[in-house]
Structure 1
């Protein structure tokens, strides 16, 4: 894997608010490994709502949503930027993006499920607007999202 600085943490919604833990994705080889790492890191037992937040330097971020037996959902900030590393390629696959390595400089192209945070208070429009904002770092966007959803303190604690 490239030497990109990767931050990955998962957050679970509990009756008392959100709780977070860092997640090691270095051994993830298939999309299912991501969910397994979240479950292991948070000690999930069933139907909890969990969000996996990943940021890779100044390149891209992703949020994956896990909840019980429901199909996992994912939002990817830029389908082009992820082609630079193995983890990015995994998230592209998760988001259903076919890699286009020839045309990588077409600007930011979000992919995946734009509605995955809708019931938590962030509309697809807000999520897309944040992702497309020129010159804003993935870490800053994740901070805004965490603030809006109520787990900013946990995110800051883990960074």
Structure 2
């Protein structure tokens, strides 16, 4: 289960709103959503949480590039919303590397079914063999993906909330009720409760 909230800083304190992510497909979409909620180009925080698995924070300050923190990159990588936050830059890989990996995997799948099949098997045997080949390929690619591209544990900017009183150490200790603790530090508990 997912929960997403948006906190926008104003002259009178923080404003909170729950956030629908149905139309958000990219980091750019999420950044636009945050900038639209910004008052006088002040700070906006977008918080995304998958219950008991991971949480992520996107911080936008005016027109500056967004800043990102994800509590568990490998868990987030298995989520469509987590993938939005896990950019190539954040993961330290070349832009487009994921597309190249997917293209190579597709070629491997094609080669496996074209070259590796005997000439006259039954449909059931073909289906079984193709399934095995795909499963083996996926197992390899998942393993490579997890170990090489997406580390387990936190990733991103640890100082993302330092100016609001949440140190790097504090951020690393946040777990299942992270949003409540963040809202407490911001002085935004009441406005957040109104939208939860």
What is the TM-score when the length of structure 1 is the normalising length? 0.80
Q: Report the counterpart of residue 133 of structure 1 in structure 2.
A: none
Quote the Cα distance in structure 2 between the aligned partners of 1:16 and 1:6.
29
Shift of 1:94: 7.1
Give 1:148's match in structure 2, choosing from 176, 185, 188: 185
Give 1:117's match in structure 2, choosing from 153, 158, 161: 161
Shift of 1:158: 1.3
Q: Report the counterpart of residue 81 of structure 2 in structure 1.
A: 87
Give 1:17's match in structure 2, choosing from 7, 13, 18: 13
Alignment of 1:7-156 (within 5 A): 7-40=3-36, 42=37, 44-93=38-87, 96-97=90-91, 101-102=142-143, 109-130=153-174, 136-137=175-176, 140-156=177-193
Higher strand share: 1
Quote the Cα distance in structure 2 between the aligned partners of 1:107 and 1:87.
17
Q: How large is the RMSD of aligned CA atoms in angstroms?
A: 2.4
Aligned pair in 2 of structure 1 residues 124, 94: CA closer, same or farther (>3 Å)? farther
Higher helix share: 2
Number of matched pairs: 146
Mark the runs of 5 or more structure 1 residues left unpaired by the alignment.
131-135
Shift of 1:14: 1.2
What is the TM-score when the length of structure 2 is the normalising length? 0.66
SS at match of 2:9: strand
Mark the runs of 5 or more structure 2 residues left unpaired by the alignment.
99-140
The ranges of structure 1 where at least 4 consecutive aligned residues each deviate by more than 6 angstroms after the TM superposition are none
Q: Which structure is larger by alpha-carbon Rg, 1 or 2?
A: 2
Aligned pair in 2 of structure 1 residues 87, 94: CA closer, same or farther (>3 Å)? farther
